[in-house]
Amino acid sequence: MRFVIDTNLIVSGVISSGLPRQLLDAARAGEFELCTSEALLAELQRVLGRAKFFNRLAGQTPESIIADLRLLAHVVAPISVPRVVPTDPDDDQVLAAALAGAADLIASGDQRDLLPLVSYEGIPIVTARQAWERLALQT
């Protein structure tokens, strides 16, 4: 299986324990293939660079986290980024990466914009818990 994990869940997985961390650990264990794009990695680096996360990175830097993700994930280059989410263009990057990477699902914590879509081009958009449950069914 191939997943795109939205930036908000990756940040949660980096700074705390819980399902987002378990999803990242499962990707590291090879239980699924993580898919991302340069735009999503750049967004993650911007977010992790915020002062409020400085003490929560467990001695890592945003740059080292991005470098680790580059080694872990399949980085795709979407041909186009359709305008789908009118209130947050960054979310369009998530959808474009999922489409370009032929993802089986998108995991997100975005209750306002992404999760209400339910799916995009046949790719389910689910919560971390739902992604974890789908992964459990595959193993």
Show the domains of the chain with their CATH numbers. Answer: 2-138 (3.40.50.1010)
* Alpha-carbon gap, residue 137 to 133, rounded angstroms: 6
Q: Is the dihedral of CA 19, 24, 26, 27 positive or negative?
A: positive
Q: Give the lowest-confidence range in 13-27, 48-62, 102-116.
A: 48-62
pLDDT tens digit sequence for 81-124: 878 887 888 899 999 999 999 999 999 999 999 999 999 999 99
Question: pTM, whole model, 2 decimals?
Answer: 0.93
Q: Which two tokens stand for residue 138?
A: 């595959």
